[in-house]
């Protein structure tokens, strides 16, 4: 009996944290199956090796007050993400809100 070919999981772009959490919750079994499948392969599995739709990012330098950075690090840790990811999420949400108002 031939194995059925499993559909590859593609992680989309998310416009909010709620949308992302909902997607991961709805696709948990497929992602877990993909992780198990890749663990059987010889190449190591990383989040970056999962296919996702993203545009290249532009590195920049920002000066941020030390207190704000510490707050961002603390809040990011509570959410289980890196502080740079957390700051990008906040910026993306604020930009989307401001763009919607105009």
C-alpha dihedral sign at 47, 20, 25, 8: negative
DSSP calls for 36-82: HHHHHSSSPP-GGGS-B--PPP--------HHHHHHHHHHHHHHTS-
What pLDDT is attached to residue 73? 93
Residues 33-90: tens digit of each pLDDT: 887 877 777 566 566 666 666 677 788 999 999 999 999 999 999 988 889 989 999 9
Q: Can you give the pTM of this predicted structure?
A: 0.48
Query: What pLDDT, on the 0 to 100 scale, is given for residue 1?
Result: 47
CA–CA distance, 16 with 48 (Å, rounded to integer): 20
User: Hey, what domains does the chain have and what are their CATH numbers?
Assistant: 9-54 (no CATH), 56-102 (1.10.1220)
Q: Cα(37)–Cα(6) distance, rounded to whole angstroms?
A: 10
């Amino acid at each position: 009996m031939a194995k059925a070919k499993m559909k590859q999981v593609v992680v989309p772009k998310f416009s909010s944290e709620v949308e992302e959490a909902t997607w991961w919750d709805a696709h948990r079994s497929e992602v877990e199956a993909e992780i198990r499948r890749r663990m059987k392969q010889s190449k190591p599995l990383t989040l970056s090796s999962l296919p996702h739709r993203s545009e290249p990012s532009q590195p920049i330098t920002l000066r941020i007050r030390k207190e704000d950075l510490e707050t961002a690090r603390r809040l990011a840790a509570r959410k289980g993400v890196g502080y740079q990811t957390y700051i990008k999420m906040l910026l993306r949400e604020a930009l989307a809100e401001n763009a919607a108002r105009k």
